[in-house]
Structure 1
Amino acid sequence: VCVCVCVQRGEAAFATGPPITIEAPLVPPFRSDELHVMRTSNVVNIDSRPFDPDVFREEEEPGFDPARAVHQSNMIRWRYKEDAHGQRVPESNAKMVKWSDGSMMLMLGDEYIDVAAQDITANQQYLFVRHKNQIIQGQARLGTRMMFQPTSLSSRSHLSLKAAVAQRHAKSDRTVR
């Protein structure tokens, strides 16, 4: 049913139109406790495309910057695999670990990265899926923002960031004529 709202003299009146048929795939909603907002940074980044080792070349990735290549080792990658029932399910090289004291870490390969979680339920942020035909389907309310930082000053992530900054600011040999 097509519904349009008309406001006349401070009162809302609902007018209905002829029924319209809309076809769109129904995307099953996500569980709200599994959704978090994450800002990518120089510590962790995400590859938006499924990983395929047959065609993977780091230099061909969109947005590849040789100066930032040091950060490519902390790239969250994913791919599809088949589960025991033959269903396609996503698989990732990253795993979230929640310790008994409530703290969290991201395991990315053999590197551990500290995770700071912040409650953002007061911000009223929601996740929507945009379908064709200009249809938007609500999925979930976002409740947590996650920020990532190297575990220690001696971690591989911190040392590579430190080396990249030092290289950018290093003096180079110049010849004066």
Structure 2
Amino acid sequence: MALNLHRNRDCDLAPLAKMLPDADIPLINPNAKVPFDEMEWHRKWLGDREDVSFYLQDALGRDVGFFALREGIGPEVRHLTYVYLAQEARGGAAAELTGHIEQAARDLGALTLTLKVEVDNAPAFNAYYSAGYEELSRRHGMATMRLDLEGRIAA
């Protein structure tokens, strides 16, 4: 599936609310209210000035994915948060999704990309592992992973 990446410059969360079923909200943010509360997300989850979010669209221009990159320890580190891919876009899109995430982080000047993923979410864990992320630790059912973007450019 060919996915196109679009930066969410207006911080518009209406497309996310439209594509995200209530049942999937706890999968991307277990602390968020159900049903989706756009004001809560603006205030609590994507309210940092350095948060940058993106939408993925399919060939027909439909929003089928979303992710955000939060500034880590300084601007050279970005932390991947709130990744969502609509059901119809799943299955074979993992490499394309991780490629878009990596490019978005690079475009923001990141040298390192980090994330946390539930260890029992095998499709997501395997997608990140296959994309070259290294596992740093496991705690409370979550794996912390890291990708050295600077090393990938040099290689």
State the TM bucket, normalised to the shorter chain. Answer: under 0.3
More contact order relative to length (CA 8 Å, sep ≥ 6): 1
Query: Whose radius of gyration is greater, 1 or 2?
Result: 1
Of Structure 1 and Structure 2, the greater helix share is in 2
Of Structure 1 and Structure 2, the greater strand share is in 1
What's the TM-score, normalizing by structure 1?
0.23
What's the TM-score, normalizing by structure 2?
0.25
